[in-house]
Structure 1
């Protein structure tokens, strides 16, 4: 399977018409106490091939991949390959692909690391992590999502204060399409129980105090008592890569 544009409805369409903000709120409220796979099934029924699941191969995402495989196995699943991922992340990808007989769409930045260094300098993530995330994550995602009407993520309200108001179904103003967060109201304990019940392959770094795993230069172990995302961009005034908060991160030269 390769990166491609698919035929779909206009963003936010529900059947033949756009969803209103009120309808989105009502749908989200309806699904708050439903199981996450019911949200995925609803999305697949409404949007078909114009729904896509984002996967970083963290524990929330591997659980969602398994759920989606149960209810709508033909749905596209993609990952953002920044060229800076941990070897364990790629290994988890391969183990999950083999277990579910699924191919994941690889979405890459416009620039290689070498090209980025020539344009913005070596190790941009140390000097301007926002710009680096914009180049290697946000802008590739923006280009890719233009082919879809809805996307699904593994973010949860419990993960951090910046995600505390996440809803199960919401309008993504940044990327201009519907966003499904089936695990929004689930706890980490519930996600891990699902993983263990179904023996789903997961990143072994989670067993070494890495609850949130991103790029190698910007991820460290989390110490006891710290927030689960404290290991991301440690020592920087940054808590998100820019995929989920509103506001555009642009390339800088």
Structure 2
């Protein structure tokens, strides 16, 4: 089933507040294109951690220009939480330990996310199975126990090549970082370009070993 048809069915089926989160990566950009016709029924939001690439803001603006009917609401971390983290760990304390990095992600991303999805019955994401081991085990529609809502992953079994082809067909704005090897774009201090042959998530928190997640998309029943 085509993405637009599947989206229509899912959006019609679920009552209440429906949200779509975008970080302006290529997958999210493709979904923004398909969600545009449902702009009055799906709340679109992004999380601004305060440590974004300037290129992320540039594609944010280009996206708003192309899809003026979509109001992309921005959620920010609490200033008090940021001050407490920096005073305790240092401005770049996330390099010091996995625990410190995860706390930074919690303050800058997880806590704002809770505000963004509060009261929602459905959360639409741009996750794809080939992005990580954790995401290989996700379903198109799944219950998110931690957030008490249903998560919908319409691009789950799309390949990166298919996503790229569709963004080209529809002339969808893509971050200039993407063509420089940044296939997964997060905060500037925590993201680098991929080297040839590296795993999709290798550019995120590259100084760490193990699974690469920030806490937004975690199965509560798995040790990821």
Q: Which blocks of at least 5 consecutive residues in structure 1 are unaligned? A: 1-33, 249-253
2:32 to 65, 77, 82: 65
Partner of 1:122: 91
| 1:130-179: CA deviation from partner (whole Å, max 9, x where unpaired) | 11111111121123212211100000001122211121111111111000
Partner of 1:246: 219
Q: How many residues align?
A: 214
Cα distance, 1:94 vs structure 2: 0.5
| Residues 1-253 of structure 1 aligned to structure 2 (within 5 Å) | 34-47=1-14, 50-70=17-37, 72-74=38-40, 75-101=42-68, 102-111=70-79, 113-127=82-96, 128-237=100-209, 238-247=211-220
Contact in 1 for aligned 2:15/2:121 (Cα 8 Å): no
| 1:195-244: CA deviation from partner (whole Å, max 9, x where unpaired) | 00000011010100110000011000100000111100002135011111
- Normalised to the residue count of structure 2, the TM-score between the two structures is 0.90
Cα distance, 1:43 vs structure 2: 2.6
- Whole-angstrom distance in 2 between the partners of 1:57 and 1:67: 14
Q: Stretches of 4+ moved more than 2 A in 1? A: 34-39, 46-49, 111-116, 118-122
- Whole-angstrom distance in 2 between the partners of 1:223 and 1:65: 28
- Whole-angstrom distance in 1 between the partners of 2:133 and 2:3: 22
Cα distance, 1:246 vs structure 2: 2.8
